[in-house]
Amino acid sequence: MTQTTDSAQQATTTVGFVGLGHMGAPMAANLLRAQWPLVVWNRSAAAIVPLSAQGARIADTVAELRDCNVIIFMLPDLGFIAEAAASLLDAWREVPPVAGTAVVVMSSVSPRAVKDFGDEVSRASAGRAAVLDAPVSGGTIGAENGTLAIMAGGSEDDFARVLPVLESMGTAVRRLGALGSGSLAKACNQLLVGTTTAALAEAAELAERSGMDVAALFDVLGGGLADSAVLRFVGPRIAAKDYAPTGPAKFMHKDLGFVLESARAAGSAVPMATAGHALYGALKDQGLGEQDLAVVRESISRLGNEI
């Protein structure tokens, strides 16, 4: 991972981290390895124990993060973030934070709604705290290895302040524009990942029902123009029908909904996103949403059985 941090900045910067799930826990661990002073909060205690052993300080409430210079939220959606942040904003209404405090939303959220959240944070903090959206791509492997792609939105000055922190968790870190730009970039990422995964699942079902070995098919496809990171990382799980969750498939339906929302605002046609959103909606209706994204193959298989 890129190291642009100097010891003086680390000595004066405390990082708060909220949300220690499949992605958040290894991301927080990488911050500790990079020697950032870290304060963590999580609804369940089990994920906190390993980080505490590595040197993280435990907060009993999110409001206890009020004096952190950078506060990262890695929760499933903005509704969860707003709920968790309520006590923090109440504390700031009483005593505003230090100027330049950064609230970093690293979950996949609505590009429109994160702007509203930014306005709320600004009002509660008397303009002393700013929100950046910096969602990630790379899955649990990228989170563990500190090789995430991080797509950021926010002012140039705010981004410059948090860049060393972000570079402790990712190797491709880019500011793409104002607040909301990172979430729009992640929506575009999910459009590619979700529809490519669905196409691979569709190809797998077609091949297997036609008597072909799916693993052999994917191996030869990987040597041509159809090769992709999705084929390399998700393809083996699709071929093996391995649906043990690395991230729940239901979140793809949510993320493609953000594509549709953004497309309506921009007046852009998104036929692939529309089809993908309907497919992952059907997957949820089939009760498969808690399993891995690769379970879209099972969803397509069930649709085939109805023909």
Residue 217 has pLDDT above 50, yes or no: yes
| CATH 1.10.1040.10 location in the chain | 184-305
What confidence tens digit (pLDDT) does each residue in 64-75 have?
999 999 999 999
For residue 175, what are the contacts with CB-CB under 8 A and spacing of at least 6?
152, 153, 154, 156, 159, 181
For the packed helices 78-94 and 111-124, what is the interaxial angle rounded to 10 degrees?
Answer: 10
CATH topology of domain 7-178: Rossmann fold (3.40.50)
What confidence tens digit (pLDDT) does each residue in 81-103 have?
999 999 999 999 999 999 999 99
Contacts by residues 297-302 (CB-CB < 8 Å, ≥ 24 positions apart) = 297/200, 297/201, 297/204, 297/205, 297/238, 297/241, 298/241, 298/243, 299/201, 300/198, 300/201, 300/202, 300/205, 301/205
Q: Give the three-class secondary structure for 42.
A: coil
Q: How far apart are CA 261 and CA 97, in angstroms?
A: 33
Alpha helical stretches, state H, the chain:
7-12, 24-33, 48-53, 78-94, 111-124, 139-145, 156-166, 181-209, 214-221, 229-233, 235-240, 250-266, 271-285, 296-305
What confidence tens digit (pLDDT) does each residue in 14-36 have?
999 999 999 999 999 999 999 99
| DSSP conformational letter for 305 | H
| CATH 3.40.50.720 location in the chain | 7-178
Question: What average pLDDT does the structure give for the chain?
Answer: 95
Predicted pLDDT of residue 246:
86
Its pTM stands at: 0.91
Residue 265 has pLDDT above 90, yes or no: yes
CATH topology of domain 184-305: N-(1-d-carboxylethyl)-l-norvaline Dehydrogenase; domain 2 (1.10.1040)
Residue 3 has pLDDT above 70, yes or no: no
